[in-house]
Amino acid sequence: MVENVRDSSESSIVALLADVDGTLLTTEKVLTQQTIDAVRRLRESGILFCITSGRPPFGMGMFVEPLELEVAMAAFNGGIIVRPDLSIVDQKPLPLDIVPQVVQALRAHGLDVWVFGATDWYVTDPKGTRVDRETSNLKRPPVVVENYDEVLRGAIKIVGVSLDVDAVARCEAVLQSKFGTRVSAARSQPYYLDVTHLEANKGAVVERLAKFLNVSTARIATIGDQPNDVLMFKRSGLSIAMGNAGAEVQRQATFVTASCGEEGFARAVDRLLEVQASRAR
């Protein structure tokens, strides 16, 4: 692990907030035994472990049992907070008045559009880009609709999808410029552009977790690999970028660990525990 230029807080860490895809999971979407053991070591050391993801709630339940999760999870980048039994604590739907404009902007850049509600996800083309891969990841097929007119009310997340990663990046910049005071728009993967409520972002998740624990955000550590994880890096006292993260994401972190295919999460946990031990001396 390589230390970055930004200094970490002198306060002891009480919780680690982790991204899921590309961080906890390998590129093949595998939760390795080394990762499971690392979470156990965190728990034994007294550090609370929490997860946040752009995934819907029903795509996060699979982690509860193997990781023995006991606290609420932030789905849709904080758009919905759910307990380990997936009951909803809080949700922040997208503002309905601009949702059609968001959909139009995504399509204008050549991106496919998916719409996510609290319990289902919707597509107009079941054979569209990466629909089969997302079905496998979430363990749930989409609901196919002719159009989105009837499902936009209550939408928690809208995703633009394209294998043209440059088009996704350009669309991100346009949405941030045009709608940045109303929504959060950030890439969760190079080919996914997530649009959620303005307060549904991973930085806000750090603040909510700190408030829940009644501690400073400086006592929260974070780990992730994508541009939308940088918001939580900036709010936390210690941040770790995965080795598979882009250079700009890595520059924003306190430490850089190995990639998700090289047990980067488990190595990061060991480094975090070393930092804790040194602070205690």
Read off the pLDDT of residues 152-169 as tens digits, 9 standing for 90 and up. Answer: 998 999 999 999 999 999
Residues 80 and 208 in one domain: yes
Q: Which domain, by its residues, includes 118?
A: 99-197
- State the total domains in the chain: 2
Read off the pLDDT of residues 15-40 as tens digits, 9 standing for 90 and up. Answer: 999 999 999 999 999 999 999 999 99
The number of angstroms, rounded, from the C-alpha of 277 to the middle of its chain's C-alpha atoms is 28
Angle, alpha carbons 156-158-163 (nearest 5°): 150
Angle, alpha carbons 126-171-206 (nearest 5°): 90
Read off the pLDDT of residues 127-150 as tens digits, 9 standing for 90 and up. Answer: 999 999 999 989 899 999 999 998
Full-model pTM: 0.85
212 exposure class (CB count in 10 Å sphere: 0-12, 13-18, 19+): middle
Residues 51 and 87 in one domain: yes
Residues 80 and 104 in one domain: no
Q: What is the pLDDT of residue 217?
A: 97
Residues 185 and 170 in one domain: yes
CATH number for 190 = 3.30.1240.10
Residues 112 and 130 in one domain: yes
